[in-house]
Structure 1
Amino acid sequence: MPLPWRTTLRKFLYIVAFLIVLAIAVLLVLRLYADELTQMALVPDVEFTEQDALADNAYQDPAMWFSRPGKGVNDPARWQPAFSEELSTRAAPEEPEDAQDTPRFAVFFIHPTSFLDNDAWNAPLDHEDSQNRARLMVRGMASAFNRASEIWVPRYRQATYGAFLTDAPEAGRALDAAYADIEQAFDFFIDSVPEDTPIVLAGHSQGGYHVVRLLTERLKGTPLMERVAVAYPVGMPISIETDLPALGLPACATAQQAGCVASWASFAEPAEPGQYLRLYNETPGIDGQSRTDTPIVCVNPLTGSLNGSADAERNLGTLVPDGDLANGELIAGAVPARCDPDTGILLIGDPPDLGQYVLPGNNYHVYDIPLFWRNLQQDVVNRVRAWQQARPS
């Protein structure tokens, strides 16, 4: 008859072995069926509900904007993070001597998806969690444009995150509904900005999607396109063959070019962009043709050039957030970047420690802008200057 402690130990070992096998099985399932499980968790299983149109004068209300002129010290897009001298691998760059001579320009920034619920296709404007997340995103992303004379960031009834994980008709209707709000906000923005002021369109993820729609549906073929100094639909894959010709602007080939489009999608190495590329390949281009295996626009934010490559020394400042994303600091020389010629993604080397929001496959989608915060801050000013030099009058 076995001793009691041996029986207890044997049972313990059985339990440990079972848990190890279970853990391996769970990891295997997650690895093999990550896309399917993600869709189950985030794609709504409810009917699409048509939204009432906003009032014609809705965006006259300052409360409909996260950022706009007049917000003062409470404007999240006007935040300026400090450099970490201790963590930076190179000396922090000094403020440019001509900072006082920054040209006037106005930015229309569209924040990324902050609504993650699966019980509705579009976020209500009074959804507290998504609005708080959006405000943090504006602070961490739109602030890279804080040298602008005006920054406008509208609130809108965004499509839920799951709308980007399915080809169900409801997903398209949710994005159409969100875009209707954006277009209305953009019209108010244009009416409010002086006619001689160049404009910059910028957005990330869902915000980048709406930037693309503004270019194709609202600006292309109109005099307004002449005022676009640069467009940044960051985090949205743009096919050079099936999408770019429809935008009305070329890709930014050099850092001195204006009137162009700059976009990228960041992955640490080893990169596993399977889901990203699958969604890209399965989605038709703007021209209706298949995007399968067509090259993706990759403008390197460290060089400002198409398909460029640069080591970490070219990185003027990565914005590293604190735990709750409410604050952060800039670290110079932290991350390199090179456009992968085979996939069109932007590779950033070894995974940097930026927080808990790295997506599967070493996808740094959430950090596309913070990774290159200071470079983007200078890039937009350089392109506005180039736009002005091309129009001396």
Structure 2
Amino acid sequence: MRLARLGPLALLFLAGCVSLLKPARSFTATTPAPAPNYAQASSWAALPTRRDSADALPRAASLRDGQATAAADVFFIHPTSYYWRGRWNADVGNARLNRYTDRTTIFNQASAFNAAGRVYAPRYRQATLYSFFDKQGPDGQQALDLAYTDVKAAFQYYLAHYNQGRPIIIAGHSQGGTHATRLLHDFFDHDPALRKRLVAAYLIGCQAKTNEYQTIRPCPDSLATGCYVAWNTSDRGFDYPPYYGLAATNPLTWALDTLRAPAALNRGGVGPDMKRVDAHVTDAQVHRGILWITPPKVPGYPRFFLPGYPELHHSFHAADIGLFYMNIRENAAARVQAWTR
């Protein structure tokens, strides 16, 4: 299936037939593609030393790519863009998949951070979408574990060869947010020296808990550093007990309270094509581990529709970043300034 040529709405439709995306053989019966070599530029979807999709800016907006003079770095981990069923994990040498990743998640998600820092985004042997729906055995988790070994190796290479002691933003969405959550466990939670360089972590669209770490806490406000923010976006009025206890930040106020923030505080959403900035696109309110919103009246921010998974029909998972693009962009830059004071 040449899914990389399809648009996001078509992918959501196909994802509705989740069973069709299940790899034919078990994880242990397949041979993963070779691990990436992060000394090679081709193993990175974004590097600040070259032109790539992370340099993008929304049209009709007076914005600037600040990577050339940025004081901080951003280590961005992209979400799932691999839907094939031939293997449980993607091949980083798959040129078609890489083009799709670059023109979607790197273009319209990683770019939200290019005002705050130099953007590094590794390619990795991401787990196929079905991994998140695999409840019958260990295959899905094994695929996610393999993907994380690449992300961890990429971060180790980044620290050794690129960082040079600079402050760091960790950011990821969905599968990328899951791996980012693990990075904080492995590298920051028990390392005071490295933790001092953490500006903030944006753990978006994953399941980071309020007590996820021993030493790192959810950010209490818009300028706190050394902390993390997290949210999962859904229709107003939806209640989902499995998310009770998850960290939820309001990206319009950067507070942890349950007050409703009006759409007037939304600096602008950006759709997948980045052709416009939609000011005041929606409000936001934290409710029991979920971020409630009023559904936008403008196109470009679809719900996540999966037949057989009614709890997801209320989800704006694909727009977790897009709905708050400008707020994220401004906040990341503001936290870097707060860190450097």
Which category describes the TM-score, using the shorter chain as reference length? Answer: 0.7 to 0.9
Deviation string, structure 1 residues 180-229 (Cα, Å, up to 9, x no partner)? 11111111111233434100000000000010111112332122222111
Instruction: Give me the TM-score of the superposition, normalised by structure 2.
Output: 0.84
CA positional deviation for 1:353 = 3.9
Q: Does residue 334 in structure 1 map to residue 281 in structure 2?
A: yes
Name the CA distance, whole Å, in 1 between partners of 2:159 and 2:93.
26
For the Cα contact (< 8 Å) 2:204–2:232, is it kept in 1? yes
Q: Is residue 119 from structure 1 mapped to residue 86 from structure 2 by the alignment?
A: yes
One-letter code aligned to 1:155: R
Alignment partner of 1:359 is 2:269: no
Q: Is the 8 A contact 2:75 2:169 kept in 1?
A: yes
Q: In the alignment, what sits opposite 1:188?
A: 157
SS of aligned partner of 1:335: coil
Superposed counterparts of 1:1-393, under 5 Å: 38-48=17-27, 49-51=30-32, 54=35, 58-72=37-51, 75-83=52-60, 104-135=71-102, 136-167=104-135, 168-222=137-191, 223-241=193-211, 244-246=212-214, 248-269=215-236, 271=238, 281=242, 294-308=244-258, 309-321=260-272, 325=273, 327-340=274-287, 343-355=288-300, 357-360=302-305, 361-389=313-341
- Relative distance call for 1:127 and 1:102 in structure 2 (3 A) is closer
Hey, what's the Cα distance between the residues in 2 that align with 1:101 and 1:159? Answer: 33
* Amino acid across the alignment from 1:301: P
Deviation at 1:352, TM superposition (A): 4.0
Change (3 A) 1:131 1:257: same
CA shift in 2, pair 1:254/1:124, >3 Å: same
Alpha-carbon distance between aligned partners in 1 of 2:44 and 2:270, rounded to the nearest angstrom: 24
The one-letter amino acid paired with 2:188 is L
Please list every run of at least 4 consecutive aligned residues from structure 1 whose deviation after the TM superposition is greater than 6 angstroms.
99-102
For 2:202 and 2:210, the matched residues in 1 are separated by 15
1:146/1:41 Cα in 2 relative to 1: closer, same or farther (>3 Å)? same
- Aligned length in residues: 314
Segments of structure 1 that go 5 or more residues without pairing to the other structure are: 1-33, 85-93, 282-292
Corresponding residue for residue 23 of structure 1:
none
Note closer, same or farther for the CA distance 1:70–1:359 as it changes in structure 2 (3 Å cut): same
Q: Partners of 1:354 and 1:173 in 2: how far apart?
A: 37
SS at match of 1:189: helix
2:3 corresponds in structure 1 to none
Bigger helix fraction: 1
Secondary structure class of the residue paired with 1:384: helix
Q: 1 CA distance for matches of 2:122 and 2:132?
A: 21
For 1:179, the aligned partner's letter is Y
- The Cα of 1:363 is off from its aligned counterpart by 1.2
1:365 maps to amino acid: H
Corresponding letter in the other structure for 1:384: V
Partner amino acid, structure 1, of 2:87? A
Partners of 2:301 and 2:318 within 8 A in 1: no
CA distance in 2, matches of 1:301, 1:101: 27
Residue 61 to residue 37, structure 1, CA distance change in 2 (3 Å):
closer
Other-structure match for 1:9: none
TM-score by length of 1: 0.73
Q: Distance in 2 between matches of 1:270 and 1:83?
A: 34
Mapped partners of 2:254, 2:70: distance in 1: 19
Which whole-Å CA distance do the structure 2 matches of 1:312 and 1:356 have between them?
Answer: 15
Say which SS state the counterpart of residue 224 (structure 1) adopts.
helix
CA contact (8 A) 1:103 1:381 kept: no
Within 1, Cα distance between the matches of 2:67 and 2:188? 31
Q: Which residue of 2 aligns with 1:28?
A: none
- Secondary structure, in 3 states, of the residue corresponding to 1:193? helix
Name which one, 1 or 2, has greater alpha-carbon Rg: 1
Contact 1:103–1:385 (Cα < 8 Å) also in 2 = no
Runs (5+) with no aligned partner, structure 2: 1-12, 306-312
Distance 1:319 1:302 in 2: 15
Distance 1:270 1:261, change over 3 A: same
Letter of the 1:124 partner, please give it.
D
Q: Which amino acid aligns with 1:320?
A: G
**Is 2:57–2:63's contact at 8 Å kept on the other side of the alignment?**
no
RMSD over aligned Cα atoms: 2.7
- For 1:380 and 1:355, locate their aligned partners in 2 and report how far apart those are by CA, in whole Å: 23
Moved more, 262-271 or 231-240: 262-271
